[in-house]
Amino acid sequence: MGRYVVQRMGYMVITLLIIVTITFFLMQLLPGTPFSNPEKLSERQLELMSAKYGLDKPLAIQYMTYIGNLIQGDLGLSFQSEGRTVISMIGDRIGPSALIGGQAVVIGVLCGFILGVISALKHNTIFDYGSVFVAVIGMSIPSFVFAALMQYYIGVQWGLLPVALWKDYSYSIMPSLALSAMVIATVARFIRSEMLEVLGQEFVTTARAKGITEFVVIIRHVLRNALIPVVTVLGPLTVSIMTGTLVIEKIFAVPGLGEQFTLSILVNDYSVILGITLFYSALFIFIVFIVDILYGILDPRISMGGGKKDAA
Amino acid sequence: MQHNRPKITKDLFVHEPMKKRSAEEIEGPPSSFWKEARVRLFKNKGAVLGLIIIIIISIMAIVGPMMNNFHYDDQDLLRSNLPPLVPGMEWLGLNGENSHGTNIYEENSITDNNAWIGTDEFGRDLWTRLWSGTQISLFIALTAAFLDLVIGVLYGGISAFYGGKIDDIMQRIVEVLIGIPNLILIILFILILEPGVTSIILAMVITGWVNMSRIVRGQVLQLKGQEFILASKALGASNSQLIWKHLIPNVMGPIIVTLMFTIPTAIFFEAFLSFIGLGIQPPLASLGTLIENGYQEMRYFSYKLIFPAIVISAIMISFNVLGDGLRDALDPKMRK
């Protein structure tokens, strides 16, 4: 177990380093300069600006400096927002994103769980078909289409919730709902298939044969075993939520990380793009790592020696 | 014990006329794996419906732009922001009235060439743009899925077939690649390659093949250990015979299923990129750009958003349902 954790952490560091390298050099290929209105600047001014941000040094030196600073938790200065560090910009923006992302996970897991359980217990009935249908819709309709339609009907036509912006709590409801559609669908489908599989196993028949009530069979034997693999969807869910926040925050004008990212792309703020990319990647890698470890702890059948990979 | 036993004589027994080898007779004609799969697939109503919708939308994507006299980039400011109007279908809301209930067609006395689902702010016919947009979106998705398929099958196949050191190295690379959130990589690549059909496809393929390669590798590894491969090897089959006769046909099912799920993902990514302004550039249309456009003006011209939203949702739902159906049909063991 210990060896496995260390090995996985090694991989995490290597993966992150590769991502830093790829993104750093990709950034150099981007068209345009990182400064706003470069045509208005004199040559001397440009030189001074470049010197300030370290852009006059050779690429290799810039790369080494970046890595060096990164280890100390310094992501550099924003090119577009005067005097702001990238780390503080990420820090300012993380709150709203975490709030809507977190709410989406809670709503999604709860609703998905209920749908999935109903679906499995009432297998091949109208309830099952109904929740499968909801799940397929949730999987299929792109989150931004869903968000746009919600904004139009709930916000504009019916006026139930604020259309956009970020003032009080009620502003976070619609973005969270729009984000949760995907989560509901993923969780519902997963729980359904896991439960159906467990329901067909012999220990469930044994439990029933012993005369335990159906309720206890479901709670003690089926759900407990069906829930373990659900942990594994957390990785893909993180990705879909991150993807979702990029557009959802744009649509609902939420001042979150995703909105900052799309904004930085438009204004060529390289250091911020690089910083947010790294942040997202690190978050994703970290969550996948946690999920794998957790899964190994919860399910003793999984070997930690790496044999799991080949079982797929 | 002198019972009155009935006497059993030999003539009480009559021979049943015996058909030869009746025990080995199989009921019904023998059916192959693919035939069975087809039967199973067509029993699944959802999947069949999905297939039909996909076929209809594909046909419309080709025929749709030719159904009226407009070209997807014909601008005509006199006809800008016309609401949808289809004579005889007014009850569906296609009545030529704007959000205030005034009939724009009567107001501007436009009598010929009504726009079926409206026009955009430059007076471009949305029906034509919708279907040529669908065409581009489907083209991007199918090309990306095909490239994913080729690269993924080759990579996964080689990795699993040769095993050992080659497999080790190739899998380390894959492990790093799946660690990267692909959307972010796609966005970075688009920024460098500048937006367009080719760069969207390339950016999607750069990370897209990994999933396919993992599925293929897993399947091939499983097959490699089975007896029929060993038997075939013992009988002197060459590598290419092994690959073409045994491995590929057996891996085909999971490949098709994965492909079916790759296509909607690709459609989603294209629409997503276009939506955040990194996709197809005007005057070309794709489902993503149409939705983005419609979204900007949905307050007053909701028809601009609703029709592309319906088409993209229909495509995505159909592919997902068909994919589920195919998985059930091709892999009865996985049937849930």
ipTM: 0.78
* Count of Cβ atoms closer than 10 Å to residue A129 Cβ: 13
> pLDDT digit string (tens) for B189-235?
887 887 788 888 888 888 888 888 888 888 888 888 788 888 888 88
Cβ of A277 and B184 within 8 Å? yes
> pLDDT digit string (tens) for A32-76?
666 656 667 777 777 777 777 677 777 788 888 888 888 877 777
Mutation to test the B interface, candidates A24, A124, A140, A283, most B Cβ within 10 Å: A140
For CATH 1.10.3720.10, list the domain ranges present in chain B. 48-74+124-334
According to the model, what pLDDT value does residue A308 have?
42
Cβ of A262 and B268 within 8 Å? no
Q: Which residues of A touch B320 (CB under 8 A)?
A: 136, 139-140
Cβ of A26 and B192 within 8 Å? yes
In terms of Cα–Cα distance, which of A121, A125, A104 is closest to A240? A104
According to the model, what pLDDT value does residue B19 have?
62
Q: What are phi and psi of B85, to 5 degrees?
A: -150, 115
What's the rounded mean pLDDT across residues A137-158?
83
Identify the CATH homologous superfamily for domain A95-255. Answer: MetI-like (1.10.3720.10)
> Would you call B320 an interface residue with chain A, using a CB distance cutoff of 8 Å?
yes
Residue of chain A with shortest Cα separation from B171? A309
Instruction: Specify the higher pLDDT residue, B296 or B146.
Output: B146
Cβ of A15 and B176 within 8 Å? yes
Cβ of A243 and B278 within 8 Å? no
A306 has a pLDDT exceeding 60? no
Crossing angle for the helix pair A257-266 and A86-121, to the nearest 10 degrees: 120
Instruction: Specify the higher pLDDT residue, A80 or B333.
Output: A80
- Check: CB of residue B91 under 8 Å from CB of residue B168: no
Residue of chain A with shortest Cα separation from B185? A23
- Check: CB of residue A285 under 8 Å from CB of residue B179: yes
Amino acid at A230: V
A309 has a pLDDT exceeding 50? no
According to the model, what pLDDT value does residue B55 have?
92
> pLDDT digit string (tens) for A191-225?
888 888 888 888 888 888 888 888 888 888 888 88
What's the rounded mean pLDDT across residues B23-41?
67
* % pLDDT > 70, chain B: 82
Is CATH 3.30.360.10 the right assignment for the domain spanning B48-74+124-334? no
Q: Which residues of A touch B275 (CB under 8 A)?
A: 144, 247
Amino acid at B229: I
Q: Which of A144, A152, A265 sits opposite B298 (nearest CB)?
A: A152
Q: Token match 């973005």: residue?
A: A175
According to the model, what pLDDT value does residue B142 have?
92
Tokens of A304: 């930690």
* % pLDDT > 70, chain A: 91
According to the model, what pLDDT value does residue A196 have?
85
Q: Residue B149: enclosing H or E segment and its boundaries?
A: helix B126-162
B239 has a pLDDT exceeding 70? yes
Q: Which of A140, A242, A247 sits opposite B272 (nearest CB)?
A: A247
> pLDDT digit string (tens) for A267-286?
777 778 888 888 888 888 88
**Rounded to an integer, what distance in angstroms lies between the CA atom of residue A86 and that of residue A209?**
62
Cβ of B320 and A197 within 8 Å? no
> pLDDT digit string (tens) for B94-134?
666 766 667 766 666 666 667 677 777 777 878 888 888 89
A49: left (phi over 0), alpha (psi -120 to 50) or beta: alpha
Cβ of A18 and B298 within 8 Å? no
B147 has a pLDDT exceeding 90? yes
pLDDT band at B28 (very low <50, low <70, confident <90, very high): low
Tokens of A158: 């019916």
Question: Rounded mean pLDDT of chain A?
Answer: 80
Residue of chain A with shortest Cα separation from B167? A310
Q: Which residues of A touch B171 (CB under 8 A)?
A: 309
Residue of chain A with shortest Cα separation from B309? A145
The CA distances from residue B232 to A60, B161, B221, B228, in Å, are 54, 15, 16, 6
pLDDT band at B336 (very low <50, low <70, confident <90, very high): very low
Tell me the count of A-B CB pairs closer than 8 A: 114
Q: Which residues of B touch A14 (CB under 8 A)?
A: 176
